Structure 1
Amino acid sequence: MVYGLTVRWLSELLGTAIMIMLGNGAVANVELKGTKGYQNGWMIIAVGYGFGVMIPVMMFGPISGSQINPAITLALAVNGLQQWSNVVPYITAQFLGAMLGQLLLFLAYKPFYDQTDNPSRILGTCSTISASGSFVNGFINEFLGTFILVFSALLILNSHALIHTPGVAELGVGFLVWALVASLGGPTGPGLNPARDLGPRIVHALIPLKNKGTSQWTYAWIPVVAPILAGIAAVFLYKMIYFGQ
């Protein structure tokens, strides 16, 4: 079935909002004082983001492709695998969805944001932070992580071995994100998605929160630019080697 642009736009918005609520929700559960999951470890965050990506892909994949990531949307168009007419509507939906998801998280966790006095922990529930303080390291980590994400997801979702078994490929994408956050999450978070980082960072800057501190705008371009470049490179490599096989 072919869905109209309005339905696909809404699907991208809802899918991105769900991803943020489940992914950044897991971060908030670990980082904010007083929650049931406070300081319970990075694996909760990895699981939250793994399933936070997998579930929207299962829900909206047949409708909009559930790209939920401007780096993927742009990369597909640049490499001729998607119409350019989808780009602006999809990216708009993704950023609005990310902001909506983060806003709903603030409402859900408001008492725990008020208890938390560490600005880095508060920002970490929204956006990525370079643990080393190095912009170069942050760029490298975001580029590598996004390249692996996009290249691997394309192969998983288009695998001849998986395509006829409903849900298995989407499950594989969830495990892929889980593994990426667990393995490459130490240096930056990671973002791997411009909307996932910039949308919540904008909300962080606008919403009044006790002890929230700076939104670190000098670093904010890295989790936007690095994933876009990595996504374009990953789709190009996939297209050159595997597309049409």
Structure 2
Amino acid sequence: MSERKRYLGELIAEFIAVMIIIIFGDSVAAMIVLYDPNPYQNAYWGVAIVWGLGVTFAIYATGAVSGTHANPAVTLALALYRGFSWKKVLPYCAAQVLGGIAGAAVVYLNFHPVIDHYNLTHHFTRAGDGGAAGVFFTHPGLAVTAMHSFVVQIVLTGVLVFGIFAITCQYNTMAPQANSGALIIGLLVAAIGASSGFLDAWAINPARDFGPRTFAFFAGWGASAFPSPQHYWWVPIAGPLVGGVVGAGIYQFTLRPFMPNYTADLPAPPVPDRAPTTAAPPRAEPVYMAPNSVTPAP
């Protein structure tokens, strides 16, 4: 396969990975936002699990092609710390955002009659009241300001990317192998959502929020999407990017140097741009990786 064709496949894989995550995640958000009583009223863990399983399925589907970053925060961290090509960072991020737009369009195709019914019943409008906006993009929850949410996004994305780096570290003898790593990453996403999702709907992924938010802007939500109340739109972009760099850096400089067989004075083995298709020692370091997710804003 030519390098050009392989690169095209990587971008398509990133697009599809985020689209899969949004189809699952925004659909479960629609279930909890649009229905009263909703099926997850007393089982919020189910919402978090759906987001996590969306991530897991996306990794299994696309990891062998692109590594399933599925998150600009992950792509940036891999470029900074694990040798991912800088020339691929912006194209990967663009493919991820486009995947978010496409995933939101699929969710809208399925749920738009229910969205309209919800807004009519509650006397909401899309642009004026942001009716049903929580299906597509995030917003601060109870007593949370935009600036506090910025801090929350740094912390939660830091936890996510720290976990991803630990799970995919070639020197971590306790980390899962390639075929089970995807499940563990999905559970990590679910755990973050279940423990902190009500704060601001745990975007932890710029593409997860910016892509569906862009779709919603053109689908009638207008100012509710951009600039959004409290001019919030930038928070789920900047916060995760900062958090990913911080979380990955903490792992790289605190735990990784003490891992078995790690030799700091020797160059690291070359890192492929794609995830390995099988688990075999020694494991290739970072590869398939992650993403992120979110639940509807309260």
Q: Flag whether TM exceeds 0.5 (same fold).
A: yes
1:85, distance to aligned residue in structure 2 (A): 1.6
CA distance in 1, matches of 2:77, 2:50: 25
Q: Does 1:150 align with 2:152?
A: no
Tell me if structure 1 keeps the 8 A contact 2:55–2:186.
yes
1:186, distance to aligned residue in structure 2 (A): 1.2
Cα deviation, 1:50-100, whole Å, max 9, x if unaligned, reads 111111112212221100001111122133521112112101100000000
Q: Quick check: 38-47 or 217-226, which moved more? A: 38-47
1:29, distance to aligned residue in structure 2 (A): 1.2
In structure 2, relative to structure 1, the CA distance for the partners of 1:133 and 1:239 (3 Å cut) is closer
Match of 1:167 among 166, 169, 179: 179
CA distance in 1, matches of 2:245, 2:8: 26
Structure 2 residue aligned with 1:234: 247
Structure 1 residue aligned with 2:146: 135
Structure 1 residue aligned with 2:236: 223
Q: Quick check: 231-240 or 170-179, which moved more? A: 231-240
The structure with more radius of gyration:
2
CA distance in 2, matches of 1:113, 1:41: 22
Match of 1:200 among 190, 212, 226: 212
RMSD (Å), alpha carbons? 2.4
The 5-angstrom pairing of residues 1-245 of structure 1 reads 4-33=6-35, 37=39, 39=41, 41-79=43-81, 81-117=83-119, 118=124, 119-120=129-130, 122-131=132-141, 132-158=143-169, 159-164=172-177, 166-208=178-220, 214-215=224-225, 217=227, 218-241=231-254, 242=256, 245=262
1:204, distance to aligned residue in structure 2 (A): 0.9
Tell me if structure 2 keeps the 8 A contact 1:74–1:228.
yes
In structure 2, relative to structure 1, the CA distance for the partners of 1:233 and 1:38 (3 Å cut) is closer
CA distance in 2, matches of 1:208, 1:219: 18
CA distance in 2, matches of 1:221, 1:177: 21
What letter is aligned with 1:148?
A: V
- Percent of residue pairs bearing the same amino acid type: 28
Tell me if structure 1 keeps the 8 A contact 2:217–2:225.
yes
1:36, distance to aligned residue in structure 2 (A): 7.2
Q: How many residues align?
A: 242
Q: Quick check: 55-64 or 182-191, which moved more? A: 55-64
In structure 2, relative to structure 1, the CA distance for the partners of 1:35 and 1:55 (3 Å cut) is farther
In structure 2, relative to structure 1, the CA distance for the partners of 1:162 and 1:106 (3 Å cut) is same
What letter is aligned with 1:126?
A: F
Cα deviation, 1:116-167, whole Å, max 9, x if unaligned, reads 1254561111111101241122112111110000001111123433454x52
Tell me if structure 1 keeps the 8 A contact 2:77–2:248.
yes
What is the DSSP-based 3-state SS (H/G/I as helix, E as strand, rest coil) of the residue aligned with 2:132?
Answer: helix
The answer to which structure, 1 or 2, has the higher relative contact order (CA under 8 A, 6+ apart) is 2
Unpaired runs of at least 5, structure 1: none
1:111, distance to aligned residue in structure 2 (A): 1.1
Tell me if structure 1 keeps the 8 A contact 2:16–2:99.
yes
Normalised TM-score (structure 2): 0.75
Tell me if structure 2 keeps the 8 A contact 1:31–1:121.
no
Cα deviation, 1:25-62, whole Å, max 9, x if unaligned, reads 11011111379737565323211111111111122122
Unpaired runs of at least 5, structure 2: 263-298
What letter is aligned with 2:76?
A: L
What is the DSSP-based 3-state SS (H/G/I as helix, E as strand, rest coil) of the residue aligned with 2:220?
Answer: coil
Tell me if structure 2 keeps the 8 A contact 1:139–1:223.
yes
CA distance in 1, matches of 2:80, 2:191: 27
